[in-house]
Amino acid sequence: MSFKCVRVERDGELALIVAHNPPVNTITADVRAGLTMALRQIEADRSLRGVVLLCEGSTFFSGADIGEFSGPPREVEYRQLFNAIEALDVPVVAAMHGTVMGGGLEIALACHYRIAAPATKFALPEVTLGIIPGAGGTQRLPRLIGAEKALDLILSAKPVTAQQAVEIGFLDTTVDGDLRGAALKFARELLAAGRGPRRTGAMTVDPATATEAMFEHMKERARKSYPNRGAGLVAVDAVRKASRSDLAEGLEYETARVNECKLTDESRGAVHVFFAERDSRRVPGLPDDAQAKPVRAAGVIGAGTMGGGIAICFANAGIPVMLVDANAAGLERGLAGIERTFQSMVERGRLTPAEKTRRLGLIGTSLDYESLRDADVIIEAVFEDLALKQRIFAKLDEVAKPGAVLATNTSTLDIALVADATHRPGDVIGMHFFSPANVMPLLEVVRTDRTSPATIKTVMELAKPLRKTPVLARVCYGFIGNRMMEGYAREAERMVLEGATPRQVDGALEEWGMAMGILAVFDMAGIDVGINVHRANASRYPPDPTYYQADFALGDAGRLGQKTGKGYYRYEAGSRARFDDPEAIEILRRRARELQVPQREHSITEIQERCLFPLLNEGFHVLGEGIATRAADIDVVWTSGYGFPRYRGGPMFYAETIGLATLLDGMRRYAQMFGPMHWTPAPLLVELVGRGIGIAEWERERQAERARA
């Protein structure tokens, strides 16, 4: 029998249920229907003595269909299906490989025995999506391995290896070689030993692992690991329930709680970001006949901080890359940095020494632009200087092969002016990596009005092997991310002039959920880096004498951040721990007196609003002006590049969570307090509130307009 993506095969007295739902065997509605049909067939066949469940392709079931989260609840369907597997009266063996997550692991827990290929990984990542394992995971796992270990796995949300799974106790064994053959052999050995079904649901949770003290401890851990969030706490409740009731009652409880979770902002935000990231590569409106070009060889110009990191990305992707610098010392420094990065990966067990050698072998170095002749993509990462970049692009125009993508990593310059230096502006594009380039997932892809669709597609596709999350932007100062940073940083700096301490400001932002307070970020990046940007852009800054003056005050005193041991905070040698520093506060007070900035108290709410409202408001400028293609792209930029909490869904999603009218009122309230210069609401925000519509509706209208045009 075959039912779409699930089929039943016979091997003597055994049946195999084989699922095939590429690319990652998601448990979609079709898979569930197929499994249900397969079970019916197996139940009806009295000659069968055992069942093996396995998947074809890259992995065993990788998880539930997250796309169904927003639809009607499916837990009852999952529960009936998994219960039916568990109820079979012949032994059922799950034979796993690949990455088995969430629902994939839960279906295996409903089988009677579990074996896996040695490289298999397992995880229950649900709490990071604001939910709990809701297909029996919170009820069956503690029955198998005890409440404490189950919660450890659920709250860590991190993958464990097959070997660890055996030690933890939810995997019977690992098997080498052909998984199907090994599974059949394993099942026959069970039969020979007279072993029948071993139902997880019939077990009870070991009470020694399920004390009230342990649950309290896990709640504390959930509060710490997931501040501002509830799913971890719900998981503790659900596992506690497993230890206090039978399976049927526990499953009912789990269903009720997971469905509550799905309605929280925490879950809606995290799921939104999950899909926004998946979709950011898709660019609407590009002609179908524009094709991405293959990238077999790359070039990077400038072997500094960024160039070195970018070269590592190519080597990691297995793409040969030629690194060019203006001088031998620069190349040597760059290569030494790359070597160090690979070496630290070896030391952390992330890379074998042989793989390090292979990757280093993919990176060539040269002082001569001629060596870039074969490159399909060339990324320039030299000093931030327009005239220099224009000279380099004029040179590239001479040496690069026809059709090669010519990219710049500029953070602030007008890429259209860089393109003007060539006779092939269609091939010129921005590839804005974030530091460290080999670590940070975000890649802003910046198109000019003349960048060709094929160039855009090539770079959006290239992001995949480079392991980057690409977001398309149009040219403007700061593109999407840094442009929205401006108001956020401005208010943080202004408040330390008004008398708030750096710790108060950063503390309020971190409490809200930012990965790191912005002033601590400046200390890490170097205060001089910010000052250089402020100087270079002074002409476009608004007429506000206090603008970024906190940076200047500290910079004038030689406090350049972590690298000098002092900035907004004080640091001790070899450590990144921040200490409050009265000296920094005194410097800021002095500058405030000189600028006659009135001193005041700041509540946590004021700090959060004054930083966040301008950030969100700028998002509406970016969207309204068409700098970003979609609001969701803005959310990806900030969650993957700037430490904005995923569980708040990104700035645009968050604006809708608090309500666009609340944001607009907030902007107007602060405009009354501080004047309109920095507090004028974006036209799109005013329009949406005036018309009483949300972002999605506006985007649909705009799409329809484009389709008509």
Ligand X SMILES: NC(=O)c1ccc[n+]([C@@H]2O[C@H](COP(=O)([O-])OP(=O)(O)OC[C@H]3O[C@@H](n4cnc5c(N)ncnc54)[C@H](O)[C@@H]3O)[C@@H](O)[C@H]2O)c1
Binding site for ligand X (CB under 6 A): 301-307, 324-327, 330, 334, 381-384, 388, 392, 409-411, 433-435
* Residue with smaller CB distance to ligand X, 114 or 483: 483
User: CA–CA separation, 131 vs 77, rounded Å?
Assistant: 18
CB of 413 to ligand X, least distance (A): 7
Query: What CA–CA distance (Å, rounded) separates 371 from 355?
Result: 25
CB closer to ligand X out of 117 and 413: 413
Instruction: Please say which residue, 123 or 392, places its beta carbon nearer to ligand X.
Output: 392
Taking Cα atoms as reference points, which of 127, 224, 259, 272 lies closest to residue 654? 272
Q: What are residue 679's phi and psi, to 5 degrees?
A: -125, 25
Residues annotated as part of the active site: 106, 126
- Chain-centroid distance of CA 530 in Å reads 26
Task: Tell me how far, at minimum, the Cβ of 384 lies from ligand X, in Å.
Answer: 4
Shortest CB 307 distance to ligand X, Å = 6
* Residue 443 bridge partners (DSSP): 433, 470
Longest dimension (CA), the chain: 92
Q: Are 396 and 272 in contact (CB under 8 A)?
A: no
Minimum CB separation from ligand X for residue 435, in Å? 3
What one-character DSSP code corresponds to residue 65? Answer: -
Nearer to ligand X, 258 or 521 (CB): 521
Which of 426, 390, 395, 429 is closest to 409 using CA atoms? 429
For residue 67, give both structure tokens: 């796309």
Phi, psi of 663 (to 5 degrees): -65, -45
Residue number, 383 or 535, with CB nearest to ligand X: 383
Whether the CB-CB separation of 586 and 619 falls below 8 Å is answered with: no
Q: CB nearer to ligand X: give 152 or 414.
A: 414
Q: Which of 622, 283, 297, 639 is closest to 477 using CA atoms?
A: 622
**Contact 92/122 with Cβ under 8 angstroms?**
no
Smallest distance, ligand X to C-beta of residue 449, A: 21
Report the C-alpha gap between 195 and 184 in whole angstroms: 14
With respect to ligand X, which residue has the nearer C-beta, 163 or 327?
A: 327
In the complex, least distance from residue 411 CB atom to ligand X, rounded to whole angstroms: 4
Please identify the residue of the shown chain whose CB is closest to the bound ligand X: 304
Closest Cα partner for 267 from 123, 75, 125, 442?
Answer: 125
Least Cβ distance, residue 360 to ligand X (angstroms): 18
By the 8 A CB rule, do 177 and 48 touch? no
CA geometry: angle 139, 144, 147, nearest 5 deg: 60
Distances (CA, A) of 17 to 385, 556, 631: 62, 71, 43
φ/ψ of 407, rounded to 5, equals -115, 150
Q: Which residues pair with 115 in a beta bridge?
A: 95, 173
Pick 411 or 639: Cβ nearer ligand X: 411
Q: Which is nearer to ligand X, 383 or 601 (CB)?
A: 383
Q: How far apart are the first and last CA of the chain?
A: 50
Angle between helices 328-347 and 305-316 (to 10 degrees): 50
Residues 6+ positions from 369 with CB-CB distance below 8 Å: 301, 324, 395, 396, 399
Is residue 54 within 8 Å of residue 20, measured between CB atoms? Answer: no
β pairing state of 99-101 and 63-64: unpaired
Provide the CA 677 distance to its chain's centre, in angstroms: 34
Nearer to ligand X, 334 or 666 (CB): 334
Angle 691-272-127 from CA coordinates, rounded to 5°? 140
Q: What is the smallest separation between the CB atom of 309 and ligand X, expressed in angstroms?
A: 8
Q: Name, in order, each residue with C-beta under 8 angstroms of 389's C-beta and a sequence gap of 6 or more.
A: 380, 382, 408, 410, 413, 418, 421
With respect to ligand X, which residue has the nearer C-beta, 328 or 677? 328
Residue 401 CB, nearest distance to ligand X (Å)?
19
Identify which of 492, 482, 494 has the alpha carbon closest to the alpha carbon of residue 519. Answer: 492
User: How far apart are alpha carbons 436 and 306 in whole angstroms?
Assistant: 7
Contacts of 606 (CB under 8 A, 6+ apart): none
The pair phi, psi for residue 53, each rounded to 5°, is: -110, 125
